[in-house]
Amino acid sequence: MMQTSVSVGVDLGGTSIRIGVYDVGLELLGSHSMPTRVAAGPQEVVEEIAAAIAKLLRDHPGTRPIGVGIGSPGPINLQTGVLGLLPNFPGWDNFPLRDALQEATGLPVTIESDANAAALAEWKSCSDKTSGLQSMAMITLGTGVGSGLILDGKVWHGMFGMGGEVGHATVDPHGLPCACGSRGCLEMYASANGVIRLACAVAASEQGSTALRQVVNRPGGFMPLEIAQLAEHSDAASILVFQRMGFYLGVGIANLISTLDLPMIVVGGGMARAWDLFAPAMFDAVHNFSVVYRLVEPRQRILQELNSTFIRPATIGPSAGLLGAGMLPFLADEIQSHPALPILEEKFL
């Protein structure tokens, strides 16, 4: 029997793990989802993943796995595949995820940050007309703010595989202290937690509305979606929340464009569903804070003719991270793998 080459993608999240089997055309042949038992420790979870992969492959006879791609929360050393200090994974620090999964599955494993994997998926899924695109950034607005950069046709890893932490670039040096230890990080304003924070601030201010205060002050907390619903029903205070979020997101994107003159910025993650609420303020801020954007803005018209824009919402949705992970085993050239300074790596590792 002819065997079909497939790849296995693993999207390791703080809440759940998704596993997908893809053929070379990146069709999803089968998938499996399970909760992430963080407290059980990384070795146990790796063995669960390996067992789930084995079962998925047994369920698809005639397939030959060429490798496993895993998208992992960052920070992570992409050269060694060792996890950094992950706030949502207590006890997982410095775990050699890539090697452990390789050992457990007996398959070659390629590791990427989850944000890079999602960026890869969005990039490779560009329409035919924009498929010549060599560079882009993806910003993922979730609980936090992640980012992935594709530069000159390759996923950008940076010096030690930590490149592209746009969520922790500062958008206001006099702003709120961030859990990362910095101040005024984009993540403090443009993430789900950021929207919750902005909603509380607006509710407590003169500009707060009764409706917003009711949601914000309800015991047991609230979801950003509820603020979005109020905004969609024309609650001025809730609209202001998303305008502020859009302002800071726009400052962050403006800095990215000023620094790199990128042709495309894709905004994904759960909070991107509020696009219509924050996008006008975001575009205003990008225009107001980036002379590079203003200079290249006329070309926006051409992108629009191609049914695209410089700055656009993600098209793939929540499965981007899984799809990107599934792509990894098929891609070798598109993964930046050189160390920035070989002598440094030798000495440090």
Q: Which of residues 110-149 bind a copy of itself (CB under 8 A)?
A: 129-130, 132-135, 149
In SS3 terms, 149-180 reads as EEECCEECCCCCCCCCCHHHCECCCCCCECCC
Minimal CA–CA distance to 327: which of 118, 76, 14, 105? 118
What contacts 83, CB < 8 A, 6 or more positions away?
42, 72, 76, 77, 89, 92, 93, 94, 95, 96, 97
Is residue 341 involved in binding a copy of itself (CB under 8 A)?
yes
Indicate which single residue of 223, 261, 276, 307 sits in contact with a copy of itself (rule: CB under 8 A): 261
- Please identify, using beta-carbon distances, which residue of 59 and 297 lies nearer to a copy of itself: 297
Pairing of strands 28-35, 76-77: unpaired
Is residue 51 involved in binding a copy of itself (CB under 8 A)?
no
Burial label, 4 (beta-carbon count in 10 A; 0-12, 13-18, 19+): middle
**Residue 73 backbone zone (phi > 0: left; psi -120 to 50: alpha; other: beta):** beta
Is residue 304 involved in binding a copy of itself (CB under 8 A)?
no
Nearest distance, CB of residue 179 and a copy of itself, angstroms: 10
Is residue 319 involved in binding a copy of itself (CB under 8 A)?
no
Is residue 249 involved in binding a copy of itself (CB under 8 A)?
no
- Please identify, using beta-carbon distances, which residue of 33 and 134 lies nearer to a copy of itself: 134
Burial label, 292 (beta-carbon count in 10 A; 0-12, 13-18, 19+): middle
- Which range in 46-54, 116-124, 214-222, 334-342 contacts a copy of itself by CB under 8 A? 334-342
Is residue 174 involved in binding a copy of itself (CB under 8 A)?
yes
Q: Please, are residues 328 and 334 in contact by the beta-carbon 8 Å criterion?
A: no
What contacts 120, CB < 8 A, 6 or more positions away?
112, 148, 150, 155, 324, 327, 328, 331, 334
- Which range in 15-23, 111-119, 326-334, 340-348 contacts a copy of itself by CB under 8 A? 340-348
Q: Which of residues 17-36 bind a copy of itself (CB under 8 A)?
A: none
Residue type, 51: A
- Scored b (16 or more CB within 10 A) or e, 194-223 reads bbbbbbbbbbeeeebbebbbebbeeeeebe
Is residue 176 involved in binding a copy of itself (CB under 8 A)?
no
Nearest distance, CB of residue 173 and a copy of itself, angstroms: 5
Indicate which single residue of 183, 197, 213, 273 sits in contact with a copy of itself (rule: CB under 8 A): 183
Q: Is the peptide bond before 90 cis (omega within 30 degrees of 0)?
A: no
Q: Rg of the chain over CA atoms, in angstroms?
A: 21
Nearest distance, CB of residue 207 and a copy of itself, angstroms: 18
Indicate which single residue of 33, 88, 259, 307 sits in contact with a copy of itself (rule: CB under 8 A): 259
Tokens of 34: 């399970």
> Which contiguous run of DSSP H or E holds residue 136?
strand 136-141
Indicate which single residue of 107, 201, 303, 331 sits in contact with a copy of itself (rule: CB under 8 A): 303
- Which range in 29-37, 209-217, 238-246, 259-267 contacts a copy of itself by CB under 8 A? 259-267
Indicate which single residue of 25, 61, 62, 302 sits in contact with a copy of itself (rule: CB under 8 A): 302
- Please identify, using beta-carbon distances, which residue of 178 and 241 lies nearer to a copy of itself: 178
Q: Rounded to whole angstroms, how far apart are CA atoms 262 and 126?
A: 15
Indicate which single residue of 45, 70, 120, 169 sits in contact with a copy of itself (rule: CB under 8 A): 169
Is residue 338 involved in binding a copy of itself (CB under 8 A)?
yes
Size of the site for a copy of itself (CB under 8 A): 74
Nearest distance, CB of residue 180 and a copy of itself, angstroms: 4
Minimal CA–CA distance to 70: which of 90, 92, 50? 50
Is residue 37 involved in binding a copy of itself (CB under 8 A)?
no
Indicate which single residue of 60, 197, 273, 294 sits in contact with a copy of itself (rule: CB under 8 A): 294
**For residue 200, which phi and psi values (nearest 5 degrees)?**
-65, -40
- Which range in 51-59, 195-203, 219-227, 288-296 contacts a copy of itself by CB under 8 A? 288-296
